[in-house]
Amino acid sequence: EDQVTQSPEALRLQEGESSSLNCSYTVSGLRGLFWYRQDPGKGPEFLFTLYSAGEEKEKERLKATLTKKESFLHITAPKPEDSATYLCAVQGSGAGSYQLTFGKGTKLSVIP
């Protein structure tokens, strides 16, 4: 069974204070690891897909990296508008290969 654990559950940062969110996973054959951002009352917004260990992707102040056991979402010099819940999900190649297994998310608050 695929499993995803995200840490920390919540993170408060001062504006400009860089940090990283962690996503640890176990999966039978990784097809893809996905990062989403979710604002209150809205559906998740797609950020990145990572397919293999060593891969990195960047978008504005966000950078996602992937190893064989975990992924990190690095946030550089965050702004208040980066406040949201960040979700990590994996897609495996086992019996559940048509579904995403999500972690419970990290709620990020960026204080001006």
List of residues contacting other proteins (CB under 8 A): 31-32, 34, 36, 41-46, 49, 87, 89, 91, 95-105
Nearer to other proteins, 17 or 23 (CB): 23
Measure Cα distances from 100 to 1, 10, 33, 95 in Å. 12, 22, 9, 12
Nearer to other proteins, 89 or 110 (CB): 89
In degrees, rounded to 5, the angle at the alpha carbon of residue 66 between the alpha carbons of residues 83 and 11 is 25
Contact present, 63 and 86 (Cβ < 8 Å)? no
Nearer to other proteins, 15 or 45 (CB): 45
Q: How far is the CB of 72 from other proteins (least distance, A)?
A: 19
Burial 8-26, CB ≥16 within 10 A → b, else e: eeebebeeeeeeebebebe
Nearer to other proteins, 17 or 46 (CB): 46
Q: How far is the CB of 42 from other proteins (least distance, A)?
A: 6
Q: How far is the CB of 99 from other proteins (least distance, A)?
A: 4
Q: How far is the CB of 74 from other proteins (least distance, A)?
A: 20
Question: How many residues are recorded in the chain?
Answer: 112
